[in-house]
A and B are shown apart, each in its own frame.
Chain A
């Protein structure tokens, strides 16, 4: 495995209304090609900021982000980004929203139609292909955005709490699919979540952040096989032990914030 994404002493601060805010500092993290790294930590610790810098939306104030050995400057078009807000096109229905990245890539019409149908099926939106985003629930919009991300088929997936608004069954279903797809096509994933179980279930590695200014206090390798059965994880002692350890690690950060 080779390093695909590397954060080198990355720091980011913002000036808002005269106030200087350090969002992240001294972040060092190397993500291997084909690796799924989940990021956990208290709200506002700059996890999303790291994704933004990986996508090249803005530059770090200190250090640099390497992608494929080169420092990221300007938009990084090799990543697909699923942000917290869905950013769907309100004037396109579900199917046409999912088709958009394939149209950009110049795929043929029958190919787009076939793939769109598959993806709609995958995210459980069958029967809603002709619905406009304004007619969908929050969870359905998220699923559409996920399908669109998969349609774009980027080398790296940046996902910011993509499954937050979903019910437990669907969430598990999509977690299984995501992990299977990423393993199959050796996708690299940076995945932000607040759900520690999800972080362990999906990640090959979990990076634990401190409260703001966020930095990685621990990088935990998940002691589970690459091909794991997500449906049966809850009965796996390694899984429960890792989740418990993660909870322990998170507690100081949580109590520091007074948010327990």
Chain B
């Protein structure tokens, strides 16, 4: 409870300083002020603008997240289990990984147009690499002794995957997924700013084009809200998929 009081205090102080400084030390035109932003936020919230744009961005980010996450996990599992495949593809993966994915955006617009489809695929490609890498690391980190013990029990590759490898890699897969949340949003919002007529990115872009700083900040608040919600969702999913982790976390440290 105390921690929440301290957090609230930080928010109040920050907003208070901003409110006081705005118009006195810095021009309202550049930095707006919390009261104006709150009013703007409220107005786009009640007229439904914010929610309709947020729904579009959420749809893009989620779809891209699911498609990219699934593809990344499958790829990571396949390469993690096959040394030949991993060694063959390694240089190509490093190459593509080092490439800033934002640089691909013009190509994606060329290939898929400026619609929903392009923005989803753009998000997916960003998420794919992050989830792929963490899944791959996770699979390579599975205890070889554990695998051997199960092979002695007669486990085939499918048994191993289901009983040993996947659950063992879960920790890593989820680390990748959690890391991907902000990137999924970056993907969706960059795509909207570049080539959108809807979504939170468009809302930011549109407000900025009209020099409506309060509008920009209100849209950004919407982005933050969405990021928090997605993060929370991934955490809930993680808890639900890995119930044993709770038991491990509750364990008292003994050496």
Q: Measuring CB to CB, which residues of chain A are less than 8 angstroms from any residue of chain B?
A: 55, 57, 75-77, 79-81, 83, 85, 87, 89-93, 100-101, 103-105, 131-132, 134-135, 152
Q: Is B167 on the interface with A (CB-CB < 8 A)?
A: yes
A100 near B163: Cβ-Cβ < 8 Å? yes
A75 near B251: Cβ-Cβ < 8 Å? no
Interface residue stretch chosen among B51-59, B70-78, B85-93, B145-153: B145-153
Select one of A55, A89, A105, A152 contacting B163, CB under 8 A.
Answer: A89
A80 CA / B242 CA spacing, docked (Å): 29
Beyond A87-B146, A89-B164, A100-B163, whether A132 also contacts B247 by CB under 8 A is: yes
A117 to chain B, nearest CB (A): 20
A134 near B152: Cβ-Cβ < 8 Å? no
Beyond A57-B148, A134-B244, A134-B247, whether A89 also contacts B167 by CB under 8 A is: yes
Beyond A89-B146, A132-B247, A134-B247, whether A79 also contacts B154 by CB under 8 A is: no
Select one of B149, B159, B242 contacting A87, CB under 8 A.
Answer: B149
Q: Is B47 on the interface with A (CB-CB < 8 A)?
A: no
Q: Closest 8 CB pairs between A and B?
A: A91-B167, A132-B247, A134-B248, A101-B153, A87-B149, A91-B244, A132-B244, A104-B155
Beyond A89-B164, A100-B163, whether A152 also contacts B248 by CB under 8 A is: no
List 11 extra interface pairs beyond A76-B152, A101-B153, A101-B154, CB under 8 A.
Answer: A77-B151, A83-B145, A83-B149, A87-B145, A90-B244, A91-B244, A103-B163, A104-B150, A104-B163, A134-B244, A134-B247
Beyond A89-B164, A91-B167, whether A79 also contacts B152 by CB under 8 A is: yes
Nearest B residue to A87, CB-CB: B149
B152 near A105: Cβ-Cβ < 8 Å? no
Select one of B152, B154, B159, B167 contacting A55, CB under 8 A.
Answer: B152
Hey, what's the 0/1 contact readout for B162-187 against A, CB within 8 Å counting as 1? 01100110100000000000000000
A105 CA / B159 CA spacing, docked (Å): 10
Which A residues are in CB contact (< 8 Å) with B154? Answer: 77, 101, 104-105
A57 CA / B251 CA spacing, docked (Å): 34
B148 to chain A, nearest CB (A): 6
Which B residues are in CB contact (< 8 Å) with A85? Answer: 145
Which A residues are in CB contact (< 8 Å) with B148? Answer: 57, 75
A160 CA / B145 CA spacing, docked (Å): 15
A134 near B146: Cβ-Cβ < 8 Å? no
B51 to chain A, nearest CB (A): 39
Nearest A residue to B147, CB-CB: A87
A93 CA / B170 CA spacing, docked (Å): 17
Chain B stretch 227-250: residues in CB contact (< 8 A) with chain A: 242, 244, 247-248
A75 CA / B150 CA spacing, docked (Å): 11
Nearest B residue to A101, CB-CB: B153
B166 to chain A, nearest CB (A): 9
A59 to chain B, nearest CB (A): 15
Which B residues are in CB contact (< 8 Å) with A90? Answer: 244, 248
A80 near B153: Cβ-Cβ < 8 Å? yes
B247 near A104: Cβ-Cβ < 8 Å? no
Hey, what's the 0/1 contact readout for B28-51 against A, CB within 8 Å counting as 1? 000000000000000000000000
Which B residues are in CB contact (< 8 Å) with A55? Answer: 152
